[in-house]
Structures are given as C-alpha cells and as structure tokens.
Amino acid sequence: MDRASAEALDCDDPLRHLRDRFELPDGVIYLDGNSLGPLPRGVEERVGRLVAQEWRDDLITSWNTHGWYDLPATVGAKLEPLLGAAPGTVTVGDSTSVALFKLLVAAARSRPGRGVVVTEPGNFPTDSYVVDGVARLLGLTVRWWSAPDTPDIHAVLDDDVAVVSLCHVDYRLGRMHDGATVTAAAHTAGAVMLWDLCHSAGAVDVDLAGWDADLAVGCGYKYLNGGPGAPAFVYVAPRLLDVVDQPITGWFGHAEPFALERSYRPAADVRRMLSGTTPVVGAAVLDAALDAFDGVSMVEVRRKSLAMSDLFLSLAAERLAAYGVVPEVPREHAARGSQVCLRLPGAYGFVQALIGRRVIGDFREPDLARFGFAPLYLRFTDVYDAVEHMEAVLARREHERPENVVRAAVT
Ligand SMILES: Cc1ncc(COP(=O)(O)O)c(C=O)c1O
Ligand SMILES: Nc1c(O)cccc1C(=O)C[C@H](N)C(=O)O
C-alpha cells in the first residue's frame, strides 16, 4: 500500500466534503475524536450569539424567545436519527455518569424482587463505579460478565437479573457488542437492557429501535463533537416513556415546571429524565455541533469508519509489527467499533512523541496507544501519514526520550 492508494480512497470518499464542516488546526492529524471531537464550524458564531445577544441583551426572556427551554428536545431530535431512535425518545442534560446513575436506578426499580446487575469488568471505569454505587444504594449484587472470557451472555443471565448495563464499544479494546443479540438475551431473562453508547454515537450506525433497547446514555463530546464537558444524552424506549421512574426528581422533569406545585409529577414524555436547569451554553454548543451531521447517512459513516480502521490495521501489520506493536481490536467488522489500540512497550512515550509530530492520539493504561477514526473529518491519507509518523518514531526511538516519558495529569 502506497500513499497514492490512500489518495485514491480519498477521491472516492462520498463523505469527503464533510471535512469542511470542521475547523481543524493546520498540520494536525487528529486521531482523538473518540475522546474530544474537534470544533465544528458554526459553533463559535453560535456561542457568540448566545453570549452577546441572548444572554447579555435579551436576558431571561431568552428562555422563551431563543428556545432555551426547548433545547433538550431540539438537541434530542437531532440525535434521534443518529441513534436509530424514534422521535421524542432522546433528551440531553447531566454528565454521562449522572445520566447512567438515573437510568440504572430507574431500571432496577422497574424489576422489583430482582437483585442483580450484570456489567463488564472492561467498562470505562465510571460505568463500573456508578454500577457499584447504585448496587450499594439499592442493595443489589453486581455480577461481572467478561465477554472475551465467556462470549455467550446467557451464561450469566437468570431470573434474578434486573438490569444488564454494558458499553456498546469497549473504550480500550474497540470490541463492539451485537446490540440486537445482547438486548434480546437480556429480555429473554426478563431484564432491562441499558447501553452506554459513548464510543458508538456518531461513528457507528446504532439502531436502538431495531435492537429493541430499553435505555441508553452517551457522551456529547466524543464523535458528536459537542465540546469539552458537553451534556450527555439519554434514550428511553417509547414503551417506557410514561413509566420510567428516575430518582433525581427535579423541577425540570416535572410535568409543569412553572406551575411550581408542591409535589412532583413527572412529565409524560422523555423530559421526565431531566432534573435541574438545562446547561444552556453546553446544550447550545452541542446543538450547533450536530449540524455537522446534517444530511449524513450513518450507514456511510460506518462504512468509512471500517475502511479507515482496515487501512490502519493493514499498514500497522506492514510497517509497525517489526517493532513489537500489536493491534488490539477484533478483525471482524461486526465486532469492531471505530478505534484501534496498539499495544507496545513504551506506549505512553509513543503517544507523546506522536503528539510532538502533531499526530494526536491518547494513551490508556497499561500499555495501549489509542487511535480513533472519525469519518466526518478524517482522510485516508491522514491514516497513511499517521502510520508513517509512527514508524519514524519507533525507528528513531523517540518514544524512549526522557521528555516523552514524563506523565501528565490527563492522558
Ligand atoms: C464509556 C464511557 N462512559 C462514560 C464516560 C464519561 O462520563 P462523563 O461524561 O460522566 O465524564 C466515558 C469517557 O469519559 C466513557 O468512555
Ligand atoms: N471525558 C474525558 C475528560 O473529561 C478528559 C479527558 C478524557 C476524557 C475521556 O473522554 C476519556 C474517555 N472516555 C476514554 O474513553 O478514555
């Protein structure tokens, strides 16, 4: 594979025009959009308008006149097609961790008499921490299921399982669950299925309605490009919208917040998942950012994502394997998300040396260099050039230089 072949793939890429929807710094190859997406065009103008007109000039009237009150629904409606979700099933607010807490409690409450939550040890840690916290709060037991060790989830399901809570794509290994099969297994056992879509939303053609999923959460700031600390999204299946019973019963989830009633009455729709005041700045940024997905087919996005990780894997085999680099991701498309980790000694220094060359990925403990492939703005030539830099770093042992092995607080 030479660079001309990567150029040919770019020429044939039906999504190549989407790169212009982003403000990418010159000379940077950004392979970390699976952690923090880059700045979409239009966001800066939207923030300027929000601050200078809506907040400064129009003050509190903006809740009505500039749609602040409706932002969770406005943003939810933009997310629904990306998630294969029916209209009126998605809202935004809170962080993913808090949203996860609310959904886990709601799920457990809907299965009284059942005492087990099934989850995975390979979760992003916050998912495991929140499951542990909810289990402690409600007196549940956590049953750990490791898909690599026990591929068939039926082995850990029985009629004591209230909730199955899983990350659709593993944040390190890039392994992806089959959403429909796992959801069906949970349902056969009578359990609620809760998906964390942080590493899927915006990169994988998620199909929540087709899977028959019950509940889902996900980050706004990864492949959705909603900016640092963007609000999380929450999905509730249509059949659960008027029964889901979440624990943080704040006024924004009330049927009529401005009736200011003494007692809580949940909204009849997905708004009941809200708790406190919408984080308007973050939600407005996410709203503007999602315009980058306007008219974009998630099937095309998924096709390009897999083509990019295929290209990366074949270049890594050709040019990096000799240095002891082992890619960590399933080779089968159906089990692969939109990222690839490389396992190698000195992975931290490797990532730092690459950042020094303006190729940005991230390091994940204990020995993984992680690279995300975001189809909206990455080119096949970026993948090719990134591997060329990787080979140069290894050949020159840049990853072992003292300046590259000093750990920063955020990796
Ligand atoms: C799978 C997963 N869940 C949750 C989070 C983060 O949650 P929060 O938005 O609460 O920081 C991340 C990454 O930060 C993640 O990878
Ligand atoms: N949420 C993050 C943050 O606030 C700072 C730095 C990184 C992150 C991340 O998103 C980590 C990410 N969930 C991961 O998959 O590793």
pLDDT of residue 409: 85
* 306 and 255 within one domain: no
Residue type, 372: G
Catalytic residue ranges: 124, 196, 221-222, 370
* 362 and 222 within one domain: no
| Domain membership flag for residue 49 | yes
Q: In whole numbers, what is the pLDDT of the chain averaged over residues? A: 97
* 232 and 109 within one domain: yes
**Interacting residues of 91 by C-beta distance below 8 A, sequence separation 6+:** 72, 73, 75, 76, 233, 234, 270, 271, 273, 274
In 168-320 the beta strands, taken as DSSP E runs, fall at 192-196, 215-218, 233-236
The span from the CA of 326 to the CA of 102, in Å, is: 38
pLDDT of residue 136: 98
| Domain membership flag for residue 368 | yes
| Domain membership flag for residue 22 | yes
| Domain membership flag for residue 38 | no
Q: Which residue among 293, 317, 343 closes a domain? A: 293
User: How far, in Å, is the centroid of ligand 2 from the Cα of 230?
Assistant: 12
Q: Which residue among 278, 293, 308 closes a domain? A: 293
- Binned at pLDDT 50, 70 and 90, residue 18 comes out as very high
* 289 and 301 within one domain: no
* 161 and 50 within one domain: yes
pLDDT of residue 411: 77
| Domain membership flag for residue 241 | yes
Residue type, 11: C
410 lines ligand 2 (CB under 6 A): yes
- Strand-pair category, 90-92 with 233-236: antiparallel
Q: What are phi and psi of 130, to 5 degrees?
A: -70, -40
Choice from 36, 126, 198 to test ligand 2 binding pocket (greatest atom count within 8 A of CB): 36
| The residue to which tokens 């942080």 are assigned | 198
Overall average pLDDT of the 36-59 stretch: 98
The span from the CA of 118 to the CA of 95, in Å, is: 22
pLDDT of residue 87: 98
* 304 and 260 within one domain: no
C-alpha of 173 from chain center: 14
Q: What does the pLDDT look like over 223-241, one tens digit per residue? A: 999 999 999 999 999 999 9
124 lines ligand 2 (CB under 6 A): yes
Q: What proportion of the chain, given as a percentage, has pLDDT over 70?
A: 100
171 lines ligand 2 (CB under 6 A): yes
* 338 and 232 within one domain: no
In 231-379, alpha helices (H)? 280-289, 298-319, 347-356
| Domain membership flag for residue 36 | no
| Domain membership flag for residue 410 | no
Q: Which residue among 293, 328, 363 closes a domain? A: 293
pLDDT of residue 312: 98
Q: Give 59-65 contacts, CB < 8 A, sequence gap 24+.
A: none
The span from the CA of 226 to the CA of 9, in Å, is: 28
* 197 and 143 within one domain: yes
Largest Cα span, the chain? 69
Choice from 94, 126, 128, 131 to test ligand 1 binding pocket (greatest atom count within 8 A of CB): 126
| Domain membership flag for residue 219 | yes
User: How far, in Å, is the centroid of ligand 2 from the Cα of 35?
Assistant: 5
pLDDT of residue 268: 97
CATH number for the domain spanning 397: value is 3.90.1150.10
β-sheet bridge partners, residue 234: 91, 217
The span from the CA of 222 to the CA of 200, in Å, is: 9
Overall average pLDDT of the 41-56 stretch: 98
Q: What does the pLDDT look like over 117-159, one tens digit per residue? A: 999 999 999 999 999 999 999 999 999 999 999 999 999 999 9
Ligand whose nearest atom lies closest to the CA of 230: 1
* 210 and 64 within one domain: yes
- Binned at pLDDT 50, 70 and 90, residue 259 comes out as very high
In 3-157, alpha helices (H)? 3-11, 43-49, 62-65, 71-83, 96-109, 125-138
User: How far, in Å, is the centroid of ligand 1 from the Cα of 25?
Assistant: 25
* 162 and 131 within one domain: yes
The span from the CA of 347 to the CA of 364, in Å, is: 8
Q: What does the pLDDT look like over 86-123, one tens digit per residue? A: 999 999 999 999 999 999 999 999 999 999 999 999 99
Number of domains observed in the structure of the chain: 2
CATH number for the domain spanning 86: value is 3.40.640.10
Q: Quote the domain boundaries for residue 387.
A: 3-30+297-404
